[in-house]
A and B are shown apart, each in its own frame.
Chain A
Amino acid sequence: MMISGAEIVIRCLQEEKVDCVFGYPGGSVLHIYDALFKQDQVKHILVRHEQAAVHAADAYSRSSQRVGVALVTSGPGVTNTVTGIATAYMDSIPMVVLTGQVPSFYIGQDAFQECDTVGITRPCVKHNFLVKDVKDLAVTIKKAFHIASTGRPGPVVVDIPKDITAQMCEFDYPKTIQMRSYNPVVKGHLGQIKKAVQILQEAKRPVIYTGGGVILSDAAEQLTKLAHKLNFPVTNTLMGLGGYPATDKQFIGMLGMHGTFEANNAMHFADVILAIGARFDDRVIGNPEHFGEEKRRVIHIDIDPSSISKRVKVDVPIVGNVPDVLEEIIKLMDGGFKTDPEVANWWKQIDEWRGRDSLRYKQSEHIMPQFVMEKLYEVTGGNAFITSDVGQHQMFAAQYYKFDKPRRWINSGGLGTMGVGLPYGMGVLMANPDAQVACVTGEGSIQMCIQELSTCKQYGFPIKIINLNNGMLGMVRQWQEMFYSKRYSQSYVTSLPDFVKLAEAYGHVGMKIEKPEDVEPALRKAFTEHKDDLVFMDFIIDPGANVFPMVAAGKGLTEMILAEDL
């Protein structure tokens, strides 16, 4: 039976078991929206700005093991998605973005709402396609899902001209797909794995350093098993939080620019680093020359060969799917594996570093943001999905909310996109309808996608917005205070809205919390009495609170500034 290109698009989504798309209609996608209207298998979430559609689809992926989908129109619809696509690309999030395009016979003529979608998105996608023939439509969408979700995952854009969605064609969705140019490696090299096991036996000062790759490949279980067998300390990157239970005694905290004293020292002075699904980026190892001063051996497991030896020379590269490689290592260890007795002394050293209690902070008459995070953790029992924006509040959440499970910490690590928090909450709730979701944000970030309060009302998303309001762009102010002699250039936010009234204007519940003793009762009220409401909680926090420890840009991992030094 012949069906239209628009119907083919919807049928493809159904075949991929997509239960919802986040989108915004417009001229070039009207046929597709018409086909969407005629069925009820694929739900559509109408956002208020295309950027939010892509962020929500991104969080849908991050918080589940499925691929999020966004649908937008040509021209401005597409350009509005670019920030969201780049955000997903930097964190290797699988996602499919379907974009409308002007009719194929208008392409290149500066038609109304035309832009070079494939050209604009090329540097921030894993791959993109322009569909030129309706006969290629189904197979292209199949390829898009395949590419997005395999190997090192990433966003894929499919640009579909309007005339293609009107043309008629037989629908035939391929079950599997073979591409001669795309065959990601999955199985790790056994010889390399054996070498790694040997080095792990010889390690005297080992550390297991894991990143977002553990979360993306669903390897948390294998990682925990391996770490327990080895009894080595474990540190996570910002993207890796939840990959290893934060309440476990072997967990030494997050590392990097705002990592703990023990994690950064352990990473720097380790003689063997077992790096898993992490990429030694600048926020993690600080100055690479300083990091290179210590002699050590590095084992690196990653699905992407280009992540290996990119910033730090690796001795044993293992390219493969993380959980499979970890299983192999565990299997090999069953044959009489023994760790070096020196490791006990290393643990003594680590415990000494731990004794510095680098996350300690002083209470003040104002609400301390760290305190809000601790209370949030208590009130939610550590079970919430925490989405965050970007800035000081993001670091406080990462440091003080202990993530025991993967896919619960949803934030923009690589690109550092302010404004993601609220749409991320929407995506999490579509993938996990009964979840507790808190969006940790600041008065700067929240205003970058504030219009989504309207979407949240329409679909009843009961997100708890934790607005850590210090009236300043906190992280910018912190750098200006420390490195620009307190010249606070443009980091004050004046003329802030009354967030309580704003929330109420959108039909939500608003609360303003100004005293430390009111923090816990307010949170409890929000999560019980207002369980099914979106609650905007405006916490007026200590304007001087800074994030510590801190490794200043260009400094080495051990050159941390601690709160106690000031």
Chain B
Amino acid sequence: MLRHIISILIENESGALSRVAGLFSARGYNIESLTVAPTEDPSLSRMTILTSGSDEVLEQITKQLNKLVDVVKVVDLSEAAHVERELMLIKVRATGKDREEMKRMADIFRGRIIDVTESTYVIELTGASSKL
């Protein structure tokens, strides 16, 4: 079971997400994570799906996605050299002596504190998923 990141360019129509999500559930494929947003051309959306499966399953996933009438392009990013980053925004309670410790931890892992209240921090972290 290998992990694959599939990037889909799809017509930005209502229901586009349900076509893709429905295909995965109807055919028993996994979705571990999924993001969707319009591209610089607002008539198109980019979907990035993290999935897993054998080579045969991945071949079918790609073929079935290509078969969807609204799909313009499907690329398995894991097939070539690529960079993976995850972004985490985390809100933590930061009071008393923990408040100072929290700040130090954020610095060590190159996290940035982007919002502060009397009792909380919001920390922004980026990196590979294993680090996060």
A306 and B72: CB pair below 8 A? no
Within the complex, the shortest CB–CB distance from B22 to chain A, in Å, comes to 6
Contact with A along B49-66 (1 / 0, CB 8 A): 000000010011001101
**Bound CA span A496–B99, Å:** 81
B122 at the interface (CB under 8 A from A): no
A521 on interface, CB distance cutoff 8 Å:
no
> Once the chains bind, are A181 and B26 in contact (CB under 8 Å)?
no
CB closest residue in chain A, given B71: A181
Report which of B10, B59, B69, B72 forms a contact with A127, defined as CB distance below 8 A.
B69
Q: Is A292 an interface residue (CB 8 A)?
A: no
Chain B interface size range? 10 to 19
Given known A181-B11, A310-B60, contact A126–B66 (CB-CB < 8 A):
no
Residues of A162-188 contacting chain B, CB below 8 A: 179-182
A306, B69: Cβ atoms under 8 Å?
no
User: B15: CB under 8 A from chain A?
Assistant: yes
Contact residues in A for B11 (Cβ distance below 8 Å): 181
- On whether the beta carbons of B15 and A118 are closer than 8 Å, the reply is yes
A304 touching B67 by the CB < 8 A rule?
yes
Q: Closest residue of chain B to A183, judged by CB?
A: B72
Q: Are the C-beta atoms of A305 and B72 separated by less than 8 Å?
A: no
A305 adjacent to B63 (CB under 8 Å):
yes
Interface residues contributed by chain A, number (CB under 8 Å): 18
Output the least CB separation between A144 and chain B (Å).
Answer: 10
Q: Does A123 contact B (CB under 8 A)?
A: yes
How distant is the Cα of A309 from the Cα of B64 in the complex, in angstroms?
Answer: 12
Nearest to B14 among chain A residues (CB) is: A130
Q: Which chain B residue lies CB-closest to A125?
A: B69
Contact A309 B56 (CB under 8 A): yes
Q: Which residues of chain B have C-beta atoms less than 8 A from A122's C-beta?
A: 15, 18-19, 22
Does any Cβ of B come within 8 Å of A497's Cβ? no
Residues of chain B lying within 8 A (CB to CB) of residue A309: 56, 59
Q: Report the minimum CB–CB distance from B41 to chain A (whole Å).
A: 11
Q: Which chain B positions have C-beta within 8 A of A355?
A: none
Partner of A123, one of B22, B66, B69: B22
Q: Is B76 interfacial (CB 8 A cutoff)?
A: no
Instruction: Write out, one digit per residue, whether chain A residues 78-89 have a CB within 8 A of any chain B CB (1) or not (0).
Output: 000000000000
Some 7 contacts from A to B, beta carbons below 8 A apart, are: A123-B22, A130-B15, A181-B70, A181-B71, A181-B72, A306-B63, A309-B56
B interface residues, Cβ below 8 angstroms from A: 10-11, 14-15, 18-19, 22, 26, 56, 59-60, 63-64, 66-67, 69-72
Q: Lowest 5 CB-CB distances: which A-B pairs, in order? A: A306-B63, A127-B69, A181-B72, A182-B69, A305-B63
